[in-house]
Amino acid sequence: MNIKSVQFKWGLILRHFNPTSLVKPKNYQSFQFSESFFQENKVDLEIGSGVGWHAITYSKCNPERHLIAVERTEVKFNKFKNRLEHHQGFKNLTPIHADIVPWTVHFLPDSSIEKIFIFYPNPYPKNPSARFFKMPFFEYLLKKGKENLTIHLATNEFNYQQEARELSESTWKLELIQFQELTLKSSFNPRTHFEKKYLLRNETCYDLIFQRTKQK
């Protein structure tokens, strides 16, 4: 896939992502993985992990996998770290305080991730081009996934999930393999604070899993 410019019916012109323009910050806080780490482990990535509710629960329930949880906001990341201190023995969870775009460029190898979680991302109503599925960076992010890559999206925004479904199929060649509408009546256990808040407000949340389609 080599997208230079694509016009969507959503009014977006997607331009090619240029990773060489991103300089690694001097004060970057990162975890240096060994060259063999991604070969020896089943590694997943959570983008925007917030205060770590889902990250900690997921790691606890999946001890055979390793989750890298990236959070950009300092306040939320500090709460994540404090929460993690009360859960001892998590060797399969690595919290990262960083912006996902430059961190991916400088620290994440190609074909290294099996699952990507994007739970309740900012819908950017005034800046639609900043949404993940509309970002040129999304093409670059897909290269970091293995052949069986899945992307798990959750949102309370109907238009966001509808847009993501269209772009995933038409542009990113991803197949929707699971779709659920979550409500308070469905007895679903919230995974994040945002999800709990939306469900308690009797909103419908949308849970989608996309998978990379096999190239013929």
What CATH number has the domain bearing residue 201? Answer: 3.40.50.150
Give 3-50 pLDDT, tens digit per residue: 444 444 444 446 677 887 777 766 665 667 887 999 999 999 999 999
Least confident of 71-80, 87-96, 98-107: 87-96
Q: CB of 3 within 8 A of CB of 171?
A: yes
pLDDT band of 54, cuts 50, 70, 90: very high
Q: What is the DSSP string of the chain?
A: ---SEEE-TTS-EEE---GGGPPPPTT-------TTHHHHSEEEEEES-TTSHHHHHHHHH-TTEEEEEEE--HHHHHHHHHHHHTSTT--SEEEEES-HHHHHHHH--TT-EEEEEEES----TT-GGGSGGGSTHHHHHHHTEEEEEEEEEEES-HHHHHHHHHHHHHTS-EEEEEEEEE-GGGTPPPSSHHHHHHHHTT--EEEEEEEEPPP-
* Domains in the chain, number: 1
Give a yes or no: residue 163 inside a domain.
yes
Q: What is the pLDDT of residue 186?
A: 82
56: containing domain: 36-212
Report phi then psi at 140, rounded to 5: -65, -40
* Residue 182 counted as domain residue: yes
* Residue 24, domain member (yes or no): no
What percentage of the chain reaches a pLDDT higher than 70? 88
Read off the pLDDT of each residue in 189-195 and give the average, rounded to a whole number: 93
Taking only the tens place, the pLDDT of each residue in 160-186 is: 999 999 999 999 999 999 999 999 888
Note whether residue 113 is domain-resident. Answer: yes
Query: Which residue carries 């469905």 as its tokens?
Result: 186
Task: Identify which has the larger pLDDT, 140 or 10.
Answer: 140
Task: Give phi and psi for 38, each to the nearest 5.
Answer: -75, -15
Q: Is residue 5 part of a domain?
A: no
- Alpha carbon 81 to its chain's center: 19
Say if 131 falls within a structural domain: yes
pTM to 2 decimal places? 0.89
* Two structure tokens written together for 156: 């309370």
Residue at 15 is within a domain: no
* Domain assignment of residue 21, yes or no: no
> Residue 195 is encoded by which pair of tokens?
């999800």
Average pLDDT over the chain, rounded to whole?
88
